[in-house]
């Protein structure tokens, strides 16, 4: 165990939409009985990329004692899931994450991905 950052899921706020499952690059978040859960803490690196896509604010990052992040296990988990990974695209230009860097953003109650080329236009209008 080590003190580190790790995702925290507020069960009261989670509506089970599943939007956070795919953005988690490590495969740490899964839906169980209609609620998002971190079943294996060693798969969560605490980077917080899942936070921006949650429509209810159920996700946050906390610092506490947890098993250390294991990059090799996270990689194996995602490889085992294979085609379960859904490639994300920019909601403005439609380009995918294989050709652009995508960031999560919130707009008019929606959680959306935007690429770094489209982001300036969203910021400056």
Q: What is the binding site for ligand SF4 (CB under 6 A)?
A: 9, 14-20, 36, 53-54, 56, 58-59
Name the minimum Å distance from CB 24 to ligand SF4: 9
Nearer CB in complex with ligand SF4: 14/112: 14
Name the minimum Å distance from CB 41 to ligand SF4: 16
Name the minimum Å distance from CB 21 to ligand SF4: 7
Nearer CB in complex with ligand SF4: 5/56: 56
24, 6 contact by CB (below 8 A): no
Nearer CB in complex with ligand SF4: 47/95: 47
> What count of other Cβ atoms lies within 10 Å of the Cβ of residue 119?
16
Q: Which residues contact 6 (CB under 8 A, 6 or more apart)?
A: 38, 41, 44, 46, 61, 62, 63, 64, 66
Name the minimum Å distance from CB 124 to ligand SF4: 29
Nearer CB in complex with ligand SF4: 39/93: 39
């Amino acid at each position: 165990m080590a003190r580190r950052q790790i995702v925290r899921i507020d069960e009261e706020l989670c509506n089970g939409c599943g939007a956070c499952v795919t953005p988690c690059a490590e495969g740490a978040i899964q839906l169980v009985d209609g609620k998002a859960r971190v079943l294996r803490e060693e798969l969560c690196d605490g980077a917080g990329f899942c936070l921006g896509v949650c429509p209810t604010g159920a996700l946050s990052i906390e610092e506490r004692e947890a098993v250390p992040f294991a990059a090799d296990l996270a990689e194996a988990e995602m490889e085992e899931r294979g085609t379960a990974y859904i490639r994300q695209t920019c909601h403005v230009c439609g380009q995918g994450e294989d050709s652009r860097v995508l960031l999560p953003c919130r707009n008019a109650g929606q959680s959306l991905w935007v690429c770094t080329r489209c982001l300036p236009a969203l910021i400056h209008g």
